[in-house]
Amino acid sequence: MVAETSFVVRIPTALYEEMVAHVSAGYPNETCGALGCKGDLVVKHYPPANAAEHPDDYSEIGGKDRLRILYDIDEYDGEMIYYHSHPITEARPSARDISVARVNGYLYLIFSHQYYPEPPYARIFRITSDGTVTEGKVIVS
Ligand SMILES: [Zn+2]
């Protein structure tokens, strides 16, 4: 179950538009990316390729891209947010998302194309190691 909103992530409009362009370019496959944050503010967008074996069914950042992103985020002492898209289903973590996120500890921002050709919408979640899912609020400004 999803608890009440408990945290906020602020995304500058220009970066959010880049994210929407990235996931839209990947449609109808899943697309993945990462964000670098300082506090609750997103300061950098990373749009890697989807390295999953079956990109129509799953998305993951490849090992080299992941290392490059994590090193870069370390440079400004930031935190990483992982994001990916759901081509068909709603913007909620799947069982597989939860099983991965509870280990890696990243915030998960999920885009959904369920209303395609309307633009995808995004929601963000914190998934703790016990599998508890809490929704946060995305503020684009
Ligand atoms: Zn997912």
Domain boundaries, the chain: 2-140
User: Cα(139)–Cα(50) distance, rounded to whole angstroms?
Assistant: 26
Strands (E), 6-140: 8-11, 32-38, 41-46, 79-86, 107-112, 121-127, 133-140
35 alpha carbon to ligand 1 midpoint, in Å?
A: 16
92 alpha carbon to ligand 1 midpoint, in Å?
A: 7
Tens of pLDDT, residue by residue over 93-130, are 999 999 999 999 999 999 999 999 999 999 999 999 99
| HSE-up of residue 116 (Cα within 13 Å, Cβ side) | 18
| HSE-up of residue 131 (Cα within 13 Å, Cβ side) | 5
Asked whether residue 1 carries a pLDDT value surpassing 80, the answer given is no
Asked whether residue 140 carries a pLDDT value surpassing 70, the answer given is yes
Is residue 125 within 8 A of residue 107, CB to CB? The reply is: yes
Q: Tokens representing 116?
A: 């395609």
Asked whether residue 87 carries a pLDDT value surpassing 60, the answer given is yes
Is residue 18 within 8 A of residue 47, CB to CB? The reply is: yes
30 alpha carbon to ligand 1 midpoint, in Å?
A: 8
41 alpha carbon to ligand 1 midpoint, in Å?
A: 23
Residue 76 — very low, low, confident or very high, per pLDDT cuts 50/70/90?
Answer: very high
What is the value of pTM for the model shown? 0.94
| Model pLDDT, residue 2 | 55
Looking at CATH, the fold of the domain delimited by 2-140 is given as Cytidine Deaminase; domain 2 (3.40.140)
Tens of pLDDT, residue by residue over 6-52, are 899 999 999 999 999 999 999 999 999 999 999 999 999 999 999 99
| Model pLDDT, residue 3 | 54
